[in-house]
Amino acid sequence: MSYLARALPKRVLAPSVAQSLRQTRGLSTTTLQTTPSTRTTQLTPRTNQPRQFRHRSYHSDLHARLPDHSYTNSQTAILTSALAHVPTHGFSATALTLGARDAGFLDVSVQLLPRGEFDLILFWLASRRGLLRGKVEEGGLFRRIAAEKGKDVHELSVEERVRGLLLERLRMNADVRDVWQDALAQMSLLANIPLSLTELHALASDILTLSGDDTVDATWYTRRLAVSAIYASAEVVMTRDPTPDLVETAAFVERRFDDRKALADKITGIGQCAGFGWNTAIGLGRSWGLKI
């Protein structure tokens, strides 16, 4: 294949190579990454792609990862400094102003963030999501989760990984849990709901992808919905959790995952029951001589 690729003219090649790359995914990506200099001509359409489709809502091994947020350098500087003031001042204009001062800006420079406090909340969510991914890519996180359960990393099921990641993400909120209710209130304002939900979906999607969930059927949606629902409800529980290591929240999450499993079993059972019933009805009809 690679020989053909080099022999054929470039213009004809680009789409067909992309096609074949998609089919033989694992192999091609590794070869492409190790020898980029020999294949630069075929690489061009791929490397251009992230810039063309900035808002991609799926994960692919073939594309470079999108940045966690789309803030500019100056905005990131202000927001990063402002996060240090969040535990004391909450997700507020005061924290933003203090952050701007720390970053060497003026009080008036918070105008750089058109959404104000909500930008601070979004930045918190997006940056924590990036940190979570970083922890997984380092490799230490799953090893720790496995060690807690007394297992090897490879023995961890997808379900266990999802639970571990979700709890890890909740623990990142430990510092801000006293002010998190205000943030939840901000996020639930009508104008802010779409972006908040987008961020929640991104988190659920990241957690599932990082756990190695590769379903492509209808459960793609239900899984994300379930993880989102559990995370969102656990966040509310977390704000009222007085225990130091979020023990109550962890127990809550475990119960919700059990509920989810029970619910999924029930739905499967009901589906099976309905299927049997339907088959019986058809069999009965046929035995009566109906032409079904």
Partner 1 sequence: MSTMSTRSAWRALHYSAKRRAFQPSTPYRCFSCANRVQEQKPENDRMTHFGFTNVPEAEKEIRVGAVFSSVAASYDRMNDLMSLGIHRLWKDHFVRSLNPGSCLPALTADQRGWNILDIAGGTGDIAFRMLDHATNVNHDMETRVTISDINADMLAEGRKRSLDTPYYNTSRLDFVEANAEHMPHIPDASVDLYTVVFGIRNFTDKQAALNEAYRVLKPGGVFACMEFSKVDNPILDGIYKRWNFGAIPLIGQVVAGDRDSYQYLVESIERFPSQEEFRGMIQKAGFMIPGQGFENLTGGIAAIHKGIKPIVKA
The b/e string for 237-264 (b: 16+ C-beta within 10 A; e otherwise) is bbbebeeeebeebbebbeebbeebeeee
Handedness of CA 273, 258, 212, 204 (dihedral sign): positive
Q: How far apart are CA 92 and CA 202, in angstroms?
A: 24
Chain position carrying tokens 């992808």 = 209
Q: Which is nearer to partner 1, 110 or 238 (CB)?
A: 110
For the bound state, the minimum distance from the C-beta of residue 57 to partner 1, rounded and expressed in Å, comes to 21
Q: Which is nearer to partner 1, 33 or 72 (CB)?
A: 72
Note whether 81 and 146 are within 8 A (CB). Answer: no
Q: How far apart are CA 223 and CA 213, in angstroms?
A: 9
Q: How far apart are CA 75 and CA 65, in angstroms?
A: 21
For the bound state, the minimum distance from the C-beta of residue 69 to partner 1, rounded and expressed in Å, comes to 13
Q: Which is nearer to partner 1, 97 or 127 (CB)?
A: 97
Q: Which is nearer to partner 1, 111 or 157 (CB)?
A: 111
User: Looking at the chain, how many residues does it have?
Assistant: 292
Binding site for partner 1 (CB under 8 A): 72, 74-75, 93-94, 97-98, 100-101, 104-109, 111-115
Note whether 159 and 257 are within 8 A (CB). Answer: yes
Q: Which is nearer to partner 1, 95 or 202 (CB)?
A: 95
Q: Which is nearer to partner 1, 112 or 174 (CB)?
A: 112
For the bound state, the minimum distance from the C-beta of residue 75 to partner 1, rounded and expressed in Å, comes to 8
For the bound state, the minimum distance from the C-beta of residue 108 to partner 1, rounded and expressed in Å, comes to 5
Q: How far apart are CA 164 and CA 257, in angstroms?
A: 12
For the bound state, the minimum distance from the C-beta of residue 198 to partner 1, rounded and expressed in Å, comes to 16
**Considering only CA atoms, which of 240, 250, 224 is closest in space to residue 170?**
250
For the bound state, the minimum distance from the C-beta of residue 125 to partner 1, rounded and expressed in Å, comes to 18
Q: Which is nearer to partner 1, 121 or 204 (CB)?
A: 121
Half-sphere exposure of 43 (CA within 13 A, CB side): 14
**Considering only CA atoms, which of 232, 224, 226 is closest in space to residue 184?**
232
Q: Which is nearer to partner 1, 100 or 230 (CB)?
A: 100
Chain position carrying tokens 């940190």 = 131
For the bound state, the minimum distance from the C-beta of residue 89 to partner 1, rounded and expressed in Å, comes to 10
For the bound state, the minimum distance from the C-beta of residue 143 to partner 1, rounded and expressed in Å, comes to 39
